[in-house]
């Protein structure tokens, strides 16, 4: 009998082989002993039961050689809820690397989410250049701050701040979901997020509670600063959600008042302006950047986005106001990875609204790769910069300002979903 080749959901009987591939691809996960493997198999089986995520495997001659986790997420795309596909846990058998296993799996993922009705996909890259080649564009930068508690705002009121317990799970979930609809770029949570948070022995949650509602919270852990000093700890913030400024003030107050015991608060955020909240925005390294700038944080590239269906994307954004701009534009997308997405679309904007689908005339034309277009449309970069860096071309430079205004966003996308 001919052994099967192709991609399918991984059947439970193959979970041992699945874990072996993951253990070798991510040695940092420390899946070493038979007990570690058993525990991981159990965890994977539990997660596979959630209806919004699945594990897929690539088989050649009946043998599992590549795996990935796929997620059905929703994203707040300029106040519209849209489907977005997520991919994670990509791993290839050590013996089969550089045989285009990953390429085949990513192609499958993109096609699958086109079929599922998504217009975009997202991932956290192990290397941004690797996935940029596959058409993923850079999202908002992540800034990591290391702040002394006493430099964080001021100690004010904190009468609504409480420890959160499992009883607060539903209210926390609701708070998170409201925040998703409030902030562009926020995505639905990983299906097992709250189960994992409450299971994690070291995770603490404090929240702002008003009546039965929770309007903000911080999930954090403590981390020892020095091996031989058990009293000195940092607070590592995993998630910081607040629905309004009063909530933010009380949560900040809570952190501020930890100054007696806590060395520094480590916080990674996509909030571009967070340094304004700090009394002293320096990060304690005393590094001076040439010619004279005080190091305030370190930064990184995290989430990447990829448009997979440009026509559906604009249909999804039909309620978006494109900054009151009026123009007739042809957008030429180069997509060498997903041929069906390669091509052009003609759009007419009147006072910021998309009108007249199917029209053939245009006054200006732009050319851009799908990855950079994805960054542009989500608002992680502006058109003027793409044009200046020769990452986008335009039929007439007289239109650069107009196209820049068309796609400009008030707030860059933010996402705290981990996958
Ligand atoms: C990273 C990892 C998944 C890569 O898997 P892989 O199967 O070896 O990768 P592939 O062979 O599919 O390499 C990608 C190919 O797609 C090709 N490709 C990328 N974009 C392309 C495009 N637009 N058009 C055509 N080909 C393209 C690349 O050129 C490359 O082929 P090449 O090696 O011939 O140049 C694997 O090394 C691994 O398991 N690493 C450890 C775990 C990890 O870090 N996972 C990633 C988590 S996000």
Q: Are residues 152 and 242 in the same domain?
A: yes
Q: Are residues 154 and 289 in the same domain?
A: yes
Q: Could you read off the pLDDT of 360-394 as tens digits, one per residue?
A: 999 999 999 999 999 999 999 999 999 999 999 99
Q: Are residues 181 and 273 in the same domain?
A: yes
| Atom number, ligand 1, closest to the C-alpha of residue 134 | 20
Q: Is residue 125 in a domain?
A: no
Q: Where are the alpha helices (DSSP H) in 29-127?
A: 34-48, 101-115
pLDDT value at 306 more than 90: yes
Cα separation, 31 vs 34, in Å, equals 8
11 Cα: distance to centroid of ligand 1 (angstroms): 24
pLDDT value at 286 more than 90: yes
- Three-state DSSP class for residue 137: strand
Cα separation, 350 vs 368, in Å, equals 23
Cα separation, 238 vs 176, in Å, equals 14
In angstroms, what CA-CA distances link 272 with 141, 186, 260, 263, 299?
9, 15, 28, 24, 11
Q: Are residues 99 and 198 in the same domain?
A: no
| Atom number, ligand 1, closest to the C-alpha of residue 92 | 39
Q: Are residues 276 and 322 in the same domain?
A: no
* Domain C-terminal end among 301, 332, 357: 301
| Atom number, ligand 1, closest to the C-alpha of residue 103 | 12
Q: Are residues 205 and 279 in the same domain?
A: yes
Q: Could you read off the pLDDT of 341-369 as tens digits, one per residue?
A: 999 999 999 999 999 778 899 999 999 99
Q: In what order do the strands lie in the sheet with 364-369?
A: 353-355, 343-350, 327-334, 364-369, 392-394
305 Cα: distance to centroid of ligand 1 (angstroms): 17
Eight-class DSSP state of 380: S
Any idea what the CATH number is for the domain that residue 208 is in? 3.40.630.30
Q: Are residues 28 and 153 in the same domain?
A: no
Q: Could you read off the pLDDT of 90-100 as tens digits, one per residue?
A: 999 999 999 99
98 Cα: distance to centroid of ligand 1 (angstroms): 7
156 Cα: distance to centroid of ligand 1 (angstroms): 51
Q: Is residue 192 in a domain?
A: yes
* Domain C-terminal end among 278, 301, 324: 301
Q: Is residue 59 in a domain?
A: yes
pTM strictly above 0.75: yes
Domain of residue 275 covers 143-301
Q: Are residues 42 and 154 in the same domain?
A: no
Q: Is residue 254 in a domain?
A: yes
| Atom number, ligand 1, closest to the C-alpha of residue 336 | 23
Q: Are residues 184 and 293 in the same domain?
A: yes
Which residue's alpha carbon is nearest to atom 12 within ligand 1? Answer: 100
> In total, how many domains does the chain have?
3
DSSP 5-56: -EEEEPPGGGHHHHHHHHHHH-GGG---SHHHHHHHHHHHHHHHTSTTEEEE
pLDDT the model gives residue 1: 59
Q: Is residue 131 in a domain?
A: no
Q: What is the mean pLDDT of residues 311-325?
A: 96
Q: Are residues 317 and 288 in the same domain?
A: no
103 Cα: distance to centroid of ligand 1 (angstroms): 5
- Three-state DSSP class for residue 248: helix
Q: Is residue 128 in a domain?
A: no
Any idea what the CATH number is for the domain that residue 367 is in? 3.30.1050.10
Q: Which residues line ligand 1 (CB under 6 A)?
A: 25-26, 90-92, 97-103, 125-126, 133-134, 336-337
Burial class (CB within 10 angstroms; exposed 0-12, middle 13-18, buried 19+) of 220: buried
Q: Are residues 99 and 10 in the same domain?
A: yes
Q: Is residue 129 in a domain?
A: no
Q: Are residues 292 and 360 in the same domain?
A: no
Those residues whose C-beta lies under 8 Å from the C-beta of residue 234, and which sit 6 or more positions away, are 146, 222, 223, 225, 262, 263, 264, 265, 266
Q: Mean pLDDT for the chain? A: 96
């Amino acid at each position: 009998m001919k052994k099967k080749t192709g991609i399918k959901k991984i059947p439970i009987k193959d979970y041992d082989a699945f874990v072996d591939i993951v253990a070798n691809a991510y040695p940092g996960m420390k899946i070493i002993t038979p007990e570690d493997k058993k525990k991981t198999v159990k965890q994977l089986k539990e997660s596979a039961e959630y209806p919004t995520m699945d594990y897929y495997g690539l088989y050649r001659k009946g043998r599992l050689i590549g795996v990935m986790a796929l997620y059905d997420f929703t994203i707040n795309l300029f106040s519209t809820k849209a489907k977005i596909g997520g991919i994670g846990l990509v791993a290839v058998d050590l013996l089969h690397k550089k045989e285009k296993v990953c390429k085949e799996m990513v192609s499958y993922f993109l096609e699958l989410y086109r079929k599922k009705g998504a217009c975009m996909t997202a991932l956290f890259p192990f290397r941004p250049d690797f996935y940029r080649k596959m058409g993923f564009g850079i999202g908002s930068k992540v800034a990591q701050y290391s702040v002394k508690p006493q430099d964080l705002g001021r100690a004010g009121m904190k009468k609504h701040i409480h420890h959160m317990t499992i009883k607060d799970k539903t209210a926390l979930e609701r708070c998170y979901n409201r925040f998703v609809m409030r902030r562009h770029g926020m995505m639905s949570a990983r299906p097992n997020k709250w189960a994992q948070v409450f299971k994690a022995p070291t995770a603490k949650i404090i929240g702002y509670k008003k009546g039965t509602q929770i309007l903000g919270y911080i999930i954090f852990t403590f981390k020892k600063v020095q091996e031989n000093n058990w009293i000195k700890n940092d607070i590592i913030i995993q998630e910081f959600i607040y629905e309004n400024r009063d909530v933010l003030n009380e949560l900040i107050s809570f952190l501020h008042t930890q100054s007696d015991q806590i060395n520094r608060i480590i916080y990674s955020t996509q909030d571009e302006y967070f340094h304004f909240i700090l009394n002293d925005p320096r990060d304690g390294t005393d590094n001076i950047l040439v010619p004279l700038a005080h190091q305030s944080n370190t930064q990184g590239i995290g989430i990447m986005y990829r448009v997979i269906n440009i026509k559906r994307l604009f249909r999804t954004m039909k309620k978006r106001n494109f900054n009151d701009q009026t123009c007739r534009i042809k957008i030429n997308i180069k997509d060498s990875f997903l041929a069906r997405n390669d091509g052009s679309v003609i759009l007419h904007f009147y006072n910021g609204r998309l009108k007249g689908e199917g029209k053939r005339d245009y006054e200006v034309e732009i050319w851009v790769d799908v990855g950079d277009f994805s960054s542009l449309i989500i608002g992680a970069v502006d058109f003027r910069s793409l044009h200046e860096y020769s990452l986008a071309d335009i039929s007439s430079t007289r239109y650069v300002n107009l196209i820049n205004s068309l796609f400009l966003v008030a707030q860059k996308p933010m996402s705290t979903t981990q996958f």
